[in-house]
Amino acid sequence: MDIVLFGPPGAGKGTQAAAVCAAANVPHVATGDIFRKNLKEGTALGQLARGYMDRGELVPDQLVCDLVADRLSQADALGGALLDGFPRTVVQAELLERWLTAHGRRIDVVLNLVVPDEVLVRRLSGRRTCRACGASYHVDHNPPRTAGVCDACGAAEVVQRDDDREETVLARLQTYHRETAAVLPWLRARVAVTDVDGTLPIGVVQDLVHSALG
């Protein structure tokens, strides 16, 4: 089953992803995570993506699509995947559809997390992320038990993502409205999209997402 987890930055896609992957038995393919891993490892891809990420802009479509096609071809993703943070433009959506069709697959489910901008700004500016495993925290609502230390993996690497600083957050939201929001009507015209109120408590969102998977 190929699932698209859609929504603006800060909507809770990363937080919901693990449960969705477990329920559907598919791997988590998060383009942002792939870029951050490459950045951390100092690869050429990471160097290339850095400027775009720092400015809150999108990495060029072809680069992202090649990366995703490559990832979806790996053994663990042959039965489907959870796409998180992709597609982010209509061009990416079209290339994804073309690739899936060519491989006898399709977008089976779209989950759209809906959260208003003012909530997103508060969430993203207070978000802290584990650099080792990607777990998400929030300084006010969900801090790690020990400051700076990840509850999930124990690494002392819970920090603010560079692109979660306030000035970049605003740029990312602008990018979302300018380039990514248009993907939603494109998806709705092709697949049944389940809208989920992402402002509800994490557990409630998880239940709603779970029931959408059928």
**Residues labelled catalytic:** 13, 88, 127, 161, 172
Contact with ligand AMP (CB under 6 A): which of 15, 31, 112, 206? 31
Q: Which residue has the tokens 């000035």?
A: 167
Residue 55 or 106: the one with the smaller Cβ distance to ligand AMP is 55
Tokens, residue 28: 């988590």
- 6 touching ligand AMP, by CB under 6 A: no
Which range in 30-38, 72-80, 106-114, 187-195 contacts ligand AMP by CB under 6 A? 30-38
Question: Cβ closer to ligand AMP: 37 or 210?
Answer: 37
32 binds ligand AMP (CB under 6 A): yes
Q: Which is nearer to ligand AMP, 9 or 12 (CB)?
A: 9
The Cα–Cα gap between 117 and 149 comes to 29
The SS3 call for residue 79 is coil
Stretch 138-167 residues interacting with ligand AMP (CB under 6 A): 163
Surface-to-core class of residue 140, CB atoms within 10 Å of its CB (0-12 exposed, 13-18 middle, 19+ buried)? exposed
The CA–CA distances, whole Å, from 185 to 124, 173, 180 equal 25, 18, 10
Strands 136-138, 107-114: parallel, antiparallel or unpaired by DSSP? unpaired
Residue 66 Cβ vs ligand AMP, minimum distance, rounded to whole Å:
12
Smallest gap from Cβ 122 to ligand AMP, in A, equals 16
Nearest CA to 78 among 16, 186, 2, 167? 2
Binding site for ligand AMP (CB under 6 A): 9, 31-32, 35, 52-53, 56-59, 64, 85-86, 88, 92, 163, 172
